[in-house]
């Protein structure tokens, strides 16, 4: 757990990142992001920095626009204003799979596995770049096909092993228990070797002990792969337990940014969650 | 747990090849011995052609999960291309035959790309309508280009190249190529699009490319099957390639099970042979055909085999491990 509890330091007056990442440019640099759905401004002036190995949290009441932010980051929606720099590169106009190649991978709030395919094949689909065997060499089973298949098989089992799913490699993904499905989605996202992993409510529907296990998994991922992780979560024990920087969203606007400690004692946050009376 | 013994890859290939050659010799022996009358042996050829049509449509329908209704159009392109090449190049050499089939497939694949790029932006019913329109356009074009295609009366005296040997080898080679494609990272990308397009795209799969690829492969082999058809009938008329032909092929795929190659093969064989077998009660033929479809769709809506794919090696492995009658842990898996 070499990275835990690094101090948060300000960067360019725009946000805070972990001290250990201060020497490197932030992995994600979001400036003044806005999106309108018809007359509704779903996300308003969203500015956030995420350090290279930071675990960042995005929280807020239901309907605050958290998933919309994820969808903007992965270009499911086009921002009305503002821009996103991923590792210094503007993501505007890139398709979803190009963004994946640039180093962004995500999971979904409502699980989206390839349920009719095996667990192993789900992970292999995630390994979508870095292989060069052509369609023709696959049809004719040329040596490059054999190499790719062997590499993907070994890598898939390694990744599954991290989450103790290797012995279920041949099960259909749709037949996995719920918690395993959530974790398989993370493995699939990891397979594309992302620099930034977006987890949309990874602990949803998990019991406390599963959540505890997931927390350790997430920390392990960051330490093992040296990546940044941004997560949306309602489970406060998870968010406060592992996130270094937290942004709180309400009605599409960031109402607070800071460390878990600062967020917990921020009256504006408490008001957004519990109502005005709670603050008094 | 005891180690599950597996058959090495090269041995699997040898076993599969031996079985396929065995079938070839058996089929050839039966046909040349004269046990079957002419009508029956021609049904054998028809089965081969429809098997390839169903298997090729299964790529776009079963594996990719789209619903194109213009398969007869691709078949027509392949058929006319092969026929014109064969008419221009005399002789029965294998090179000429292969050239005709491949040229038919390639031209059909080119149309697959041309149609696929715009049409695959659409989904479901809309794609069905566009491809249906494409199939009809091809048919109308054939009618209105009498200088090349012979127009409505059709193209006559095409060399009859589709012997049992040619049909059998072409169908087997095509099925093997489609199978090996599906067992690669490209095939998995195609299946992933069927399973969940957004997740596939977010996982880095270039969905546009793989949709067009699957559509093009489907068109290519439909074109090859068209070539076989031309060499089997000897006469091509636009009436052979109507909307009903597309529907017939689709029925075979759905009946066999979307996404199951073995299912497509079995259903295409049954539905091609059935009308002949039922000739003695001709009046009720279509009734029985329709009843069969209704019964299957009620009791097995996923088709005869669902997504199951037959694998000889897997069955052999179960036998050597003494687990043939145990319920497979890998049920539903698509290894073959």
Taking only the tens place, the pLDDT of each residue in B78-137 is: 999 999 999 999 888 999 999 999 999 999 999 999 999 999 988 888 999 999 999 999
Residue B261 maps to a domain: no
Calculate mean pLDDT across residues A191-220: 92
Q: Note whether B8 contacts A: Cβ–Cβ < 8 A.
A: no
- pLDDT tens for B183-223 read 999 999 999 999 999 999 999 999 999 999 999 999 999 99
> Structurally, how many domains does chain A consist of?
2
Whether residues A148 and B184 touch (CB distance < 8 A) is answered with yes
> Structurally, how many domains does chain B consist of?
2
B114 with B237, same domain: the answer is yes
Residue that is last in its domain, among A193, A218, A244 = A193
Nearest to A96 among B189, B196, B202 (CB): B202
pLDDT of B224 higher than 90: yes
The chain B residue lying nearest A142, using CA atoms, is B180
A34 with A124, same domain: the answer is no
Residue that is last in its domain, among A193, A226, A251 = A193
Residue that is last in its domain, among A143, A158, A193 = A193
Residue B54 maps to a domain: yes
Q: What is the ipTM of this complex?
A: 0.90
Whether residues A126 and B206 touch (CB distance < 8 A) is answered with no
B209 with B331, same domain: the answer is no
Whether residues B201 and A96 touch (CB distance < 8 A) is answered with yes
Nearest to B206 among A97, A114, A125 (CB): A97
> Which chain A residues are within 8 Å of B177, Cβ to Cβ?
139-140
A161 with A233, same domain: the answer is no
Q: Residue B255's CB: how many other CB atoms inside 10 A?
A: 24
Task: Look up the domain containing B228 and give its range.
Answer: 44-242
Please say whether the beta carbons of B219 and B108 come within 8 A.
yes
Q: Note whether B181 contacts A: Cβ–Cβ < 8 A.
A: yes
> Cβ contacts of residue A215 below 8 Å, gap of 6+?
A238, A241, A242
Whether residues B181 and A172 touch (CB distance < 8 A) is answered with no
Whether residues B184 and A138 touch (CB distance < 8 A) is answered with yes
A86 with A204, same domain: the answer is yes
Residue A48 maps to a domain: yes
Q: Note whether B12 contacts A: Cβ–Cβ < 8 A.
A: no
- pLDDT tens for A241-276 read 999 999 999 999 999 999 999 999 898 988 888 776
- pLDDT tens for A71-96 read 999 999 999 999 999 998 999 999 99
Residue A10 maps to a domain: yes
A7 with A32, same domain: the answer is yes
Question: What CATH number has the domain bearing residue A17?
Answer: 3.40.50.300
Residue that is last in its domain, among B222, B242, B262 = B242
Chain B nearest-CA distance from A245, in A, is 25
- pLDDT tens for A117-127 read 999 999 999 99
> Cβ contacts of residue B102 below 8 Å, gap of 6+?
B224
The residue among A101 and B7 whose pLDDT is bigger is A101
Chain B nearest-CA distance from A99, in A, is 8
Residue A110 maps to a domain: no
Whether residues A112 and B199 touch (CB distance < 8 A) is answered with yes
Residue B157 maps to a domain: yes
Q: Residue A248's CB: how many other CB atoms inside 10 A?
A: 23
Residue B268 maps to a domain: no
Task: Look up the domain containing A228 and give its range.
Answer: 1-103+195-280
Confidence category of residue B29, pLDDT binned at 50, 70, 90 = confident
The chain B residue lying nearest A108, using CA atoms, is B199
* pLDDT at position B334: 37
Residue A189 maps to a domain: yes
* pLDDT at position B324: 66
* pLDDT at position B326: 58
* pLDDT at position B325: 64
B123 with B199, same domain: the answer is yes
- pLDDT tens for A5-27 read 567 877 776 778 888 888 888 89
Calculate mean pLDDT across residues B302-307: 81
Residue B121 maps to a domain: yes
* pLDDT at position B222: 98
Whether residues B184 and A118 touch (CB distance < 8 A) is answered with no
Calculate mean pLDDT across residues A229-250: 93
Q: Note whether B329 contacts A: Cβ–Cβ < 8 A.
A: yes
Residue B323 maps to a domain: yes
What is the rounded distance in angstroms from the CA atom of residue B276 to the CA atom of residue B280?
Answer: 8
């Amino acid at each position: 757990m070499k990275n835990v509890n690094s101090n948060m330091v300000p960067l360019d007056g725009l946000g805070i990142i972990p001290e250990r990442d201060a020497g490197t440019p932030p992995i994600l640099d979001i400036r003044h992001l806005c999106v309108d759905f018809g007359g509704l401004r779903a996300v308003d002036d969203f500015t956030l920095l995420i350090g290279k190995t930071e675990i960042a949290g995005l929280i807020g009441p239901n309907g605050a626009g958290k998933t919309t932010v994820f969808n903007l980051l992965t270009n499911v929606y086009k921002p009305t204003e503002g821009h996103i720099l991923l590792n210094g590169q503007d993501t505007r106009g890139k398709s979803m799979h190009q963004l994946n190649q640039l180093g962004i991978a995500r999971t979904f709030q409502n699980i989206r596995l390839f349920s009719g395919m095996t667990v192993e094949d789900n992970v292999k689909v995630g390994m979508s770049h870095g292989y060069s065997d052509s369609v023709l060499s696959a049809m004719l089973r040329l040596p490059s096909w054999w190499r790719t298949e062997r590499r993907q098989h070994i890598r898939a089992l390694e990744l599954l092993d991290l989450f103790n799913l290797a012995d279920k490699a041949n099960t259909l993904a749709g037949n996995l228990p719920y918690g395993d499905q959530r974790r398989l989605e993370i493995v699939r996202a990891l397979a594309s070797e992302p620099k930034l992993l977006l987890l949309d409510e990874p602990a949803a529907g998990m019991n406390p002990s599963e959540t505890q296990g997931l927390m350790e998994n997430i920390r392990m991922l960051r330490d093992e792969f040296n990546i940044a992780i941004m997560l949306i979560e309602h489970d406060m024990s998870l968010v406060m337990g592992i996130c270094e920087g937290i942004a709180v969203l309400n009605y599409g606007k960031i109402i607070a940014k800071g460390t878990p400690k600062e967020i917990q004692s921020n009256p504006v946050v408490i008001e957004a969650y519990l109502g005005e009376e709670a603050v008094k | 747990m005891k180690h599950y013994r597996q058959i090495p890859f090269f041995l699997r290939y040898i076993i599969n090849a031996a079985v396929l050659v065995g079938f070839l010799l058996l089929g050839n022996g039966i046909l040349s011995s004269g046990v079957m009358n002419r009508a029956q042996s021609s049904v054998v050829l028809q089965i081969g052609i429809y098997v390839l049509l169903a298997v090729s449509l299964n790529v776009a329908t079963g594996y990719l999960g789209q619903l194109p209704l213009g398969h007869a159009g691709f078949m027509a392109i392949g058929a006319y291309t092969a026929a014109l090449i064969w008419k221009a190049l005399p002789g029965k050499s294998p090179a000429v035959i292969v050239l005709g089939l491949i040229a038919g497939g390639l031209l059909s694949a080119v149309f697959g790309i041309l149609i696929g790029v715009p049409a695959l932006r659409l989904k479901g019913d809309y794609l069905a309508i566009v491809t249906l329109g494409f199939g009809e356009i091809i048919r109308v074009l054939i009618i209105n280009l009498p200088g090349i295609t012979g127009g409505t009366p059709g193209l006559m005296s095409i060399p009859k190249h589709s012997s049992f040997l040619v049909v059998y080898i072409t169908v087997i080679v095509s099925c093997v190529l489609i199978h090996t494609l599906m067992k690669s990272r490209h095939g998995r990308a195609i299946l992933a699009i069927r399973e969940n397009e957004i997740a596939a795209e977010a996982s880095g799969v270039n969905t546009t490319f793989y949709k067009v690829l699957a559509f093009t492969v489907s068109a290519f082999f439909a074109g090859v099957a068209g070539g076989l058809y031309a060499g089997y009938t000897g006469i091509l008329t636009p009436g052979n390639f109507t909307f009903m032909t597309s529907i017939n092929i689709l029925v075979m795929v759905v009946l066999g099970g979307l996404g199951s190659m073995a299912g497509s093969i079995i259903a295409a064989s049954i539905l091609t042979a059935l009308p002949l077998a039922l000739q003695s009660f001709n009046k009720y033929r279509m009734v029985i055909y329709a009843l069969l479809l209704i019964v299957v769709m009620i009791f097995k809506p996923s088709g005869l085999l669902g997504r199951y794919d037959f694998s000889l090696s897997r069955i052999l492995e179960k036998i050597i491990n003494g687990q043939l009658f145990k319920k497979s842990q890998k049920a539903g898996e698509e290894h073959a």
